[in-house]
Amino acid sequence: MSDNARWVRPLGSASADGWDVAVDDTADGWSHTSLYAVTLAAGESRTVAAAEWEHVVVPLSGSVSVTVVDPEGLSHDCVLAGRASVFAGPSDVAYATRDCEVTVTARGAAATVAVCGARAARRHTPPLRHVGVADVPVELRGAGTASREVRNFATPGVLDADSIIACEVITPAGNWSSYPPHKHDEDRPGVESELEEIYYFQLRSTQRSELDPTSDEQGAEGGPHSSPREGFGYQRVYGTGERPIDVLAEVRSGDVVLVPHGWHGPAMAAPGYDLYYLNVMAGPGDERAWLICDDPAHGWVRDTWATQQIDPRLPLGGAQ
């Protein structure tokens, strides 16, 4: 029996407290990560209350200001320039340590913003840090139809944090990413780390992107791309014999898939639609590390990349 009903959150099904998407430890079986996402009108704000969670603020479209109030009541501010859409290239981001209230406000025009979170044991200083877009490494991973672009704005070695690991992945239309299927649900030092993971999706029509490379899937009413959820992709999650899970979900812009454990991948971009996803990971281990193991039935696929070229469409948003 499919586990989609438990682990897939279509747009509108996870809204709460003014957020379009609100996923946190109030969800059954979820403990270590959170994600809040919302589209704000110019000047509109949302706040994440202070708690034992660290956060990374990621503008998805538009520009936002970030205000962090630390445990001493002091206010810290920064402005994130953002971008036209997730397909326009990387964005600058902001990190807030645990025990801080975080407020995001749309600047100048409407903005869509994500606030990624992870349960944290230690407080980091300073309370608020700005990561400039020039400091976000852009990695081209895989080859051939498994080519994808990874923007590592909050991974170990890029962002100093307690537990959160976050990045975003662009998969050109027709390609597969999160592939070969892999898992990270056991603590095996040097081999595999125990991390739960959130996938948040957006899609864009390639026909529309040819007209405007920075656009997302927002067409004029009545036009050929009138629905912002017209594009689609697929996400697969399946378990081991000891810990079964079975998810195969059609995903559209604004949808979320939760990965509590098990092999996950591929994330498939349908022909005609570029696929974006934001990943948020954290777990109970003391070491902040992304260590994975491939499904042994499919790991051999990595060896084929040596004789293939990286998809020439990448990077979609241009290297920084």
CA–CA distance, 234 with 236 (Å, rounded to integer): 7
pLDDT (average), residues 260-286: 97
Residue 220's pLDDT is: 31
pLDDT digits (tens, 9 = 90+) for 94-105: 999 999 999 999
pLDDT of residue 208: 65
Confidence of residue 228 (pLDDT cuts 50, 70, 90): low
Annotate the chain with DSSP letters as a single string: ---HHHHEE-TTSS-BTTBSEEESTTSTT--SEEEEEEEE-TT-EEEEPPSSEEEEEEEEEEEEEEEEE-TTS-EEEEEEEEES-GGG----EEEE-TT-EEEEEEEEEEEEEEEEEEE-SS--SSSEEEE-GGGS-EEEES-GGG-EEEEEEESTTTS--SS-EEEEEEE-TT-EES-S-EE--S-BTTTB---EEEEEEEEEEHHHHHH-TT--S-PPTTSTT--TT---EEEEEE--SSS--EEEEEE-TT-EEEESSSEEEEEEEPTTEEEEEEEEEE-S-SS-----EE-TTTTTHHHHGGGSPPPTT-STT---
Instruction: Return the residue matching tokens 């406000």.
Output: 105
pLDDT of residue 223: 32
Tokens of 1: 């029996």
Which residues lie below 8 Å from residue 27, measured CB to CB, with a gap of 6+? 258
Tell me, yes or no, if the pTM score tops 0.75: yes
Question: Rounded mean pLDDT of 302-308?
Answer: 97
Q: What pLDDT shows up at residue 207?
A: 84
Residue 6 confidence (pLDDT):
97
What letters, b where the CB count within 10 A reaches 16 and e where it falls short, cover 186-215? ebeeeebbbbbbbbbbbbbbbebbeeebeb
Smallest CA-to-CA distance from 130 within 220, 59, 29 is with 59
For the chain, the average pLDDT equals 93
- pLDDT at 217 (0 to 100): 45
Whether the per-residue pLDDT at 320 is higher than 70: the answer is no
pLDDT digits (tens, 9 = 90+) for 117-136: 999 999 999 999 999 999 99
Neighbour count for residue 306 (Cβ, 10 Å): 7
Distance in Å from the first CA to the final CA of the chain = 44
| Residue 215: pLDDT over 70 | no
169-187 pLDDT per residue, tens: 999 999 999 999 999 999 9
pLDDT band, very low/low/confident/very high, at 216 (cuts 50, 70, 90): low
pLDDT band at 160 (very low <50, low <70, confident <90, very high): very high
Asked whether residue 218 carries a pLDDT value surpassing 50, the answer given is no
pLDDT higher than threshold 50 for residue 222: no
Condensed to tens digits (0 to 9), the pLDDT of residues 16-62 reads 999 999 999 999 999 999 999 999 999 999 999 999 999 999 999 99
Query: Tell me, what's the pLDDT at 317?
Result: 75
Closest residue by Cα to residue 258 from 240, 291, 280: 280
